[in-house]
């Protein structure tokens, strides 16, 4: 028996208030909430086909067979899908990232969101967006947010079912339409020094700044939501830059230190300050890598992009608008069963 393949697409997201630390590693429960922006220029398209002729799961990433560790991570995620849907057979998974060439940008958010949607649909189930977000979280914390478009809030929750993301629907659509993110890739996509999973665990275990970080996040979430409610990009950007620096400060203070920045990272940060000093809308954020993402507007995106593209060490620049929710893009003859009651 083999079920019809299903293809789903999900966009990456960049946190404006970061998730950095877990309170339960097995369930992948975040220590705090977070808040993000979904980006249309960075996406993953994933096809899943369950097929009983397979003896193991198969995974191809960007046209190549996945590494054993990548396959193991996808396969344990598929085990969750199998246990939720009752499907017993293995799957063939084909995934393609539409990211700036060799960027090394994190693709786990869009990757696990697309995999959660494609795999559950290929198994014949239509989960609610909330249940899909909970499932995607088990693959990668940030993937819970990539189920949704626009600005998204993630709840830390009291239990696994309560740790889900949801779109912030009260933001003025004109404000959303104006927002851009300029992604400056630093260092040509060399694999990152510490994966986020290990790095946040190491920060939590050894950084004297970790407690302060946990105390800060709820306050920053409130400020970010207030800025969004007012459509105040300056307040949101100022807060996002400060929050990213606080996250990195906690990681830098870990022992031994986790320092993702390269000289070009600092050069982009300095340029962003310079742009602000001359009245441009530009605020920086960084994740578990050397790249810098600059929050800006449609009017200023071109100027920001030109200002950072020639900085030595910056190897690619992409301007992105706001992305939409994860969606099935091809579901030929999907077996239709009752939606699960979660």
Q: Is 220 a binder of ligand PMV (CB under 6 A)? A: no
Q: Which of 15, 48, 184, 209 binds ligand PMV (CB under 6 A)?
A: 15
* Contact pattern for ligand PMV over residues 111 through 150, marking x by CB under 6 A: -----------------------------xxx--------
Part in contact with ligand PMV (CB under 6 A); list of ranges 16-24, 88-96, 215-223, 305-313? 16-24
In angstroms, give the least distance from the CB of 53 to ligand PMV: 33
The partner residues of 65 in beta bridges, in order of sequence, read 60
CA dihedral 225, 231, 233, 235 (to 10 degrees): -50
Q: Is 103 a binder of ligand PMV (CB under 6 A)? A: no
* Contact pattern for ligand PMV over residues 189 through 208, marking x by CB under 6 A: -------xx-----------
- Nearest Cα to Cα of residue 29 among 140, 166, 123: 140
Q: Are 80 and 44 in contact (CB under 8 A)?
A: no
Q: Is 325 a binder of ligand PMV (CB under 6 A)? A: no
Tokens 């629907």 locate to 169
In angstroms, give the least distance from the CB of 268 to ligand PMV: 17
- What span, in angstroms and rounded, lies between the C-alpha atoms of 263 and 314? 10
In angstroms, give the least distance from the CB of 144 to ligand PMV: 8
In angstroms, give the least distance from the CB of 277 to ligand PMV: 27
In angstroms, give the least distance from the CB of 251 to ligand PMV: 9
Part in contact with ligand PMV (CB under 6 A); list of ranges 17-25, 42-50, 115-123, 320-328? 17-25
In angstroms, give the least distance from the CB of 14 to ligand PMV: 7
User: Which of positions 240-299 make contact with ligand PMV (CB under 6 A)?
Assistant: 287-288
Is-cis flag, bond preceding 256, omega within 30?
yes
Q: Which of 34, 85, 120, 318 binds ligand PMV (CB under 6 A)?
A: 34
Binding site for ligand PMV (CB under 6 A): 15, 18-20, 34, 106, 108-109, 140-142, 196-197, 287-288
């Amino acid at each position: 028996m083999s079920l019809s393949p299903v293809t789903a697409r999900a966009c990456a997201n960049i946190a404006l208030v970061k998730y950095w630390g877990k309170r339960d590693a097995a369930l992948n429960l975040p220590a705090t909430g977070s808040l993000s922006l979904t980006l249309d220029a960075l996406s993953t398209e994933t096809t899943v086909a369950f097929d009983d002729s397979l003896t193991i799961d198969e995974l191809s990433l960007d046209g190549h067979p996945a590494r054993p560790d990548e396959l193991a991570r996808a396969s344990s995620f598929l085990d969750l899908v199998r246990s939720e849907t009752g499907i017993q057979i293995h799957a063939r998974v084909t995934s393609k990232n539409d990211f700036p060439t060799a960027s090394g940008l994190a693709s786990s958010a869009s990757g696990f969101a697309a995999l959660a949607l494609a795999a559950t649909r290929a198994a014949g189930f239509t989960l609610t967006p909330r249940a899909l977000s909970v499932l995607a979280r088990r693959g990668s914390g940030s993937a819970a947010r990539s189920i949704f478009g626009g600005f998204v809030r993630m709840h830390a929750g009291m239990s696994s079912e309560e740790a889900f993301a949801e779109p912030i629907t009260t933001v003025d659509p004109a404000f959303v339409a104006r927002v851009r993110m300029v992604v400056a890739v630093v260092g040509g996509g060399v694999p990152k020094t510490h994966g986020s999973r290990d790095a946040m665990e190491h920060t939590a275990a050894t950084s004297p700044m970790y407690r302060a970080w946990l105390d800060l996040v709820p306050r920053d979430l409130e400020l970010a939501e207030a800025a969004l409610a007012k459509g105040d990009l300056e307040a949101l950007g100022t807060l996002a830059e400060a929050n990213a620096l606080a996250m990195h400060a906690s990681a830098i203070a870990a022992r031994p230190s986790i320092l993702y920045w390269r000289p070009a990272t600092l050069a982009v940060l300095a340029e962003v300050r310079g742009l602000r000093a001359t009245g441009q809308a530009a605020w920086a954020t960084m994740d578990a890598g050397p790249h810098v993402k600059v929050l800006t507007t449609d009017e200023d995106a071109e100027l920001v992009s030109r200002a950072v593209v020639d900085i030595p060490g910056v190897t690619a620049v992409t301007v992105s608008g706001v992305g939409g929710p994860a969606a099935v893009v091809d579901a030929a003859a999907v077996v239709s069963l009752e939606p699960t009651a979660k």
